[in-house]
Amino acid sequence: MAKVYIGIGPETGEEIEEEEAYDYALKRCLFGTPRDKQEFREMLVEWFYSGNWLEKELEEA
């Protein structure tokens, strides 16, 4: 059974089929509002560096 995503709030009126979901989300994250882009950037960096990376604070000179 196929899925469809029904928009609410600022996405009201949008219906995105499962096959198009990735492309729509990527478009919104890369080319959406400044807030969309900032949230995506923060989540992507946190996710990407959560596995094989250690975070280290650098001392200022």
User: What does the pLDDT read at residue 14?
Assistant: 95
Any domain includes 20 = yes
Let me know if residue 57 belongs to a domain: no
In a domain, 42, yes or no: yes
34 within some domain: yes
Q: Is the pLDDT of residue 1 over 90?
A: no
pLDDT band, very low/low/confident/very high, at 60 (cuts 50, 70, 90): confident
Interatomic CA distance for residues 5 and 14, integer angstroms: 8
Asked if residue 60 is part of any domain, the answer here is: no
Instruction: Look up the domain containing 41 and give its range.
Output: 4-48
In the chain, how many domains are there?
1
The backbone region for 17, taken as left when phi is positive above 0, alpha when psi lies in -120 to 50, beta otherwise, is beta
Rounded to two decimals, the pTM is: 0.70
Per-residue model confidence (pLDDT) at position 52: 94
Q: What is the pLDDT of residues 3-59, one digit of tens each?
A: 999 999 989 999 999 999 999 999 999 999 999 899 999 999 999 999 999 999 999
